[in-house]
Amino acid sequence: MNSNKSLEILVGLFVSISIAALFFMALQVSHFNGLQSADSYEITAQFENISGLKNKALISMAGVPIGRVSDIQFNPEDYNALVTLQIEAQYNTLPSDTSASILTAGLLGEKYIGLTAGGLDEYLQAGDQIELTQSSLVLEQLISQFLFNKSDD
Amino acid sequence: MNFLQSIGQISLNSLAKCGRASIFLYHVLQSFSYLLTRPHLVIKQLFSVGVLSFWLIVISGLFVGMVLGLQGVYTLSTFGAESSLGIMVAASLVRELGPVISALLFAGRAGSALTAEIGLMKTTEQLAGMEMMAIDPLKYIMAPRFLAGFISLPLLALLFSSFGILGGHLAGVELLGVDTGSYWSQMQASIDFYDDIVNGIIKSLIFAALITWIALFEGYDAIPTSEGISRATTRTVVNSAFVILFFDFLLTALMFGSH
């Protein structure tokens, strides 16, 4: 009976350490946010070129993450990219002339969308579209522009 | 003719073995209800399968993480990207190395022990003796071992990954001076709970079922001699390693292939 008890204690210890490892993984490693309320609203933006922007990319304003990209689609009418931005519901006071640009974190980092607030008093509602957008910089285009300018001199 | 005959013999034998193994698995799964009233059988097996593998897994995880940390810093510093060390260590551990290496170690540590134990039970006619006493060895011996293996490998894989990440921190941050803030924050930014960690757990659940199935069946199907047991134990480790690596490729292609 006694050995049975110590055996059970060891098994219990093993299982609880493993569950602790799961919590460590969820909280420290992966920034688990399944428990937070997922209240958010969606707005869209059209970009001429999104090269490298991925689904779930960050949307930040003043450097603070306020949402994620939830969908990227090609718009066959205007030949540009239609990006759906999912903004957390608490940030519902973005001016309607907010501008969006695709930026890169660091030199080789991930692409993200940076929002810059405008000055109007009206706010963006769910389903609205951001009119002012700036595409991501494509290195090859920059270089070729630079070379063409050089050759003109 | 002899050549053709031997090919046919091998195929028929392996097909028959697959059939026996499937029927075996079916009966083991059927007898799980027997365990509902006898949880102490499972707890005893959890001890010998899970708890006794604890230190092996923890120490291997720590060292694998430390190697990843060291090698990661050397490789990433050529691109000036040491700050991404956390992503590299965590992603490779959580997605691949954690489930796979802990499964390989588990097959060597627990799988071979299960095969040898059951093979010896068969050789010494303990299984036949149980049947004589109207105790179904599939219910009393196999089912608790199967369940214990199925539960403990995912837990061990979680421990492996956690200690690996700590080991990577030890080698990369403490020894080689990568910034501790960027180690953790870059990791948190790019590891997703559902996409990476839950998929890793699903992987190790599948490995666990495969390894314990192979180990139990090889023991149950062993030729009841000392040589037969030794062969069965070898086959358990070799076949488990094959199956783990093959299924790892399949599962990775299914889970992470699209991105």
Position A151 pLDDT exceeds 80? no
CB-CB contact of B208 with B153 (8 Å): yes
Mean pLDDT of A69-80: 88
Global model pTM greater than 0.80: no
Would you call A29 and B94 a contact, using CB atoms and an 8 Å cutoff? yes
- Give yes or no: residues A63 and A134 share one domain: yes
Residue A138, helix vs strand vs coil: coil
Contact criterion met (CB < 8 Å) for A14 and B50: yes
Residue of B nearest to A19 (CA): B155
Chain A with chain B: Cβ pairs closer than 8 A = 71
Residue A91 has pLDDT above 90, yes or no: no
Shortest Cα distance from B8 to chain A (angstroms)? 47
Q: Domain range holding A102?
A: 40-143
| ipTM (interface pTM) | 0.80
Beta strands across the sheet bearing A129-130: A129-130, A40-47, A80-88, A64-75, A58-61, A111-116, A99-104, A132-134
Greater model confidence, A45 or A107:
A45
Contact flag B43-A14 (C-beta cutoff 8 Å)? no
Give the closest residue to B111 by CA, choosing from B254, B234, B205, B13.
B234
| Domain-located, residue A153 | no
Q: Judge if A61 and A126 occupy the same domain.
A: yes
Q: What does pLDDT average to in each consecutive run of 10 residues of chain B (259 residues)?
A: 91 93 92 86 90 93 94 88 87 92 94 94 92 89 92 94 93 87 83 86 94 94 92 94 94 79
Rg of chain A taking only CA atoms, in angstroms: 23
Count: domains in chain A = 2
**Residue A148 within a domain:** no
Task: Find the residue in A nearest to B46 (Cα).
Answer: A11
Report how far apart, in Å, the C-alpha atoms of B189 and of each of A32, A56, B105, B141, B192 are: 10, 11, 30, 46, 8
Question: What per-residue confidence (pLDDT) applies to B66?
Answer: 94
CA distance B6 to chain A (A): 48
Is residue A1 predicted with pLDDT exceeding 60? no
Per-residue model confidence (pLDDT) at position B217 = 94
Higher pLDDT, A153 or B150: B150
Cα three-residue angle B238-B145-B227, rounded to 5 degrees: 45
Q: Where are the alpha helices (DSSP H) in chain A?
A: 2-24, 139-152
Burial category of A90 from C-beta neighbours within 10 Å (exposed 0-12, middle 13-18, buried 19 and up): exposed
pLDDT on residue A38: 64
d(CA B63, CA B84): 20
Higher pLDDT, A147 or B63: B63
Q: Residue B94 and residue A32: Cβ atoms within 8 Å? A: no
- A35 to chain B: closest CA residue: B193
Same-domain status, A30 and A47: no
Supply angle C-alpha B232, B237, B39, rounded to 5: 85
A152 within a domain of the structure (yes/no): no
Pick among A25, A53, A56 to test the B interface (most B CBs inside 10 A): A25
pLDDT at A11 over 70: yes
| pLDDT exceeds cutoff 90 at A145 | no
pLDDT (average), residues A53-74: 85
pLDDT given for residue B1 in this prediction? 84
Asked if A117 and A60 sit in the same domain, the reply is yes
Return the residue of B nearest to A22 by Cα.
B158
Q: B125, B137 in Cβ contact below 8 A?
A: no
* CB-CB under 8 Å, A26 with B191: no
Q: How many CB atoms lie within 10 A of CB B45?
A: 23
- In a mutagenesis test of the B interface, which of A29, A64, A68, A110 is the best target, namely the one with the most B β-carbons within 10 Å? A29
The three-state (H, E, C) secondary structure of A77-113, written as one string: CCCEEEEEEEEECCCCCCECCCEEEEEECCCCCCEEE
Is residue A3's pLDDT more than 80? no
Residues B168/B67, Cβ–Cβ less than 8 Å: no
Say what the pLDDT of residue A33 is. 61
A20 and A66 housed in the same domain: no
| Nearest residue, CB atoms, B158 vs list A8, A13, A18 | A18
Contact yes or no for A30 and B196 at CB 8 A? yes
Going from N- to C-terminal start, the domains of chain B cover 42-252
Residue A36, pLDDT above cutoff 90: no
